[in-house]
Amino acid sequence: MASFRNNTNADWLLDPLSPHLAAVYTLIACLAVLGNGMVITVILLRRQVFCSFTNRLILHQSIIDCLAGVMFFLHLVVINAKHISVSIEDTLKDQLVCRFLYSGFALWWVNVTSTYNLVMISLERFMATCHPVKHRNTWSAAKLKFAVGIAWATGFIYSAHFVFIAEPHQGHCRPTELVTSLKIFEASAVITIEYLVPMTILIYTYSQIIITLTKKSANPMNGPRNVMNKAKKNVLVTTLLIGVLFTVFWTPSEILYICQLFSGDWDILFYSLITSLLACNMLVNPIIYCFKYDHFRSELRNLVIGRCRRNRVEDGDAIPAPAAARRMNTNEAVISL
């Protein structure tokens, strides 16, 4: 089991992944893959009723989080990249392993892409609520492709800096030594792109949505009718809750990053807890859909009930009514003889 004392980077590299922590990471990854896989299946099987712009972004969010769950499991459990060994010759292969595998380049690419897809969802809800006419006229299939591309491009551009944060040294990878000014620049860029920008957009869009709905509700011209129908309110509540949980899961990770960057010390237990908390962001969205998104819940229930009914018919070898009637008549004839 890993030591829970404060370790330097070199000491931490020598601590193996404990079985308990590996089990926790595996459980999180499995729940993320299964939960998001369920969402993907339901939306694809019912794509006629999940054809709106928001639902397509939700489908994209589930695809990203499912992929993130797989990569999380491979990176932290199967490969255990933080404890990977390289040769002492400092070859090109060693450089690639340290700069792309050890640093978590692909894992963070997917994580930040997930974040900015949430931003796209909030912007779409903002336009649909605050500027409905413009939303209907401009948010087309081409805009959907643009939103998806922006999310992936932002994640890739952000993760590019991971190529420079690790290097091979005496048979293992180690964090690159940076002067204080570069540390400050890196920390500022990371916090801004990874946390402050998405948080600012999420807070602004949802606050504007709430203000707009409040004004419309208070306007006597609207009369007793609902400002938004129940379905739109349900989608808004669902996406707002997703944004709130993003804040809950990501804030401790950002605080830990700043503390570690300037202190150079690792608290293994605290780091493991924060990593697990951050990873929960991959699996929480399907839970929200099941409990808060009425449309998704009803379609999931219809699929499950429909499948169960088909299984009962197949297992029971049910006989159609006309055939059953003929069999009864035959039996009656035999008895009468």
CA distance 329 to 76: 68
Cβ contacts of 190 within 8 Å, gap of 6 or more = 161, 257
> Would 307 be classed as within a structural domain?
no
In CATH, what number is assigned to the domain containing residue 193? Answer: 1.20.1070.10
CA distance 100 to 279: 20
Q: Report the relative pairing of strands 166-169 and 172-175 from DSSP bridges.
A: antiparallel
| pTM for this model (two decimals) | 0.81
Please report which confidence band the pLDDT of residue 212 belongs to, taking 50, 70 and 90 as the band edges.
Answer: confident
> Would 336 be classed as within a structural domain?
no
* Strand spans (E) along 148-230: 166-169, 172-175
User: In the prediction, which pLDDT does 218 show?
Assistant: 63
> Would 140 be classed as within a structural domain?
yes
> Would 299 be classed as within a structural domain?
no
User: In the prediction, which pLDDT does 15 show?
Assistant: 57
**Residue 324 in this model has a pLDDT that exceeds 60:** no
Average pLDDT over residues 195-211: 91
> Would 332 be classed as within a structural domain?
no
Do 265 and 8 contact (CB within 8 A), yes or no? yes
Please report which confidence band the pLDDT of residue 71 belongs to, taking 50, 70 and 90 as the band edges.
Answer: very high
**Residue 9 in this model has a pLDDT that exceeds 80:** no
Do 76 and 25 contact (CB within 8 A), yes or no? yes
> Would 321 be classed as within a structural domain?
no
Q: Which residue range forms the structural domain that includes residue 266? A: 6-292
Highest mean pLDDT among 4-8, 36-40, 52-56, 85-89: 36-40
End-to-end Cα separation, the chain, in angstroms? 81
Please report which confidence band the pLDDT of residue 227 belongs to, taking 50, 70 and 90 as the band edges.
Answer: very low
Q: What tokens appear for 337 in the block?
A: 């003889």
User: In the prediction, which pLDDT does 326 show?
Assistant: 42
Of 58-62, 161-165, 222-226, 258-262, give the lowest mean pLDDT range.
222-226
> Would 66 be classed as within a structural domain?
yes
User: In the prediction, which pLDDT does 35 show?
Assistant: 95
Average pLDDT over residues 220-228: 53
Do 61 and 148 contact (CB within 8 A), yes or no? no
Average pLDDT over residues 189-198: 91
User: In the prediction, which pLDDT does 319 show?
Assistant: 41
User: In the prediction, which pLDDT does 213 show?
Assistant: 81
Average pLDDT over residues 314-336: 42
> Would 253 be classed as within a structural domain?
yes
What's the pLDDT tens digit per position in 84-141?
A: 888 888 888 889 999 898 888 999 999 999 999 999 999 999 998 898 888 888 888 8
Average pLDDT over residues 50-60: 91
Q: How many domains would you assign to the chain?
A: 1
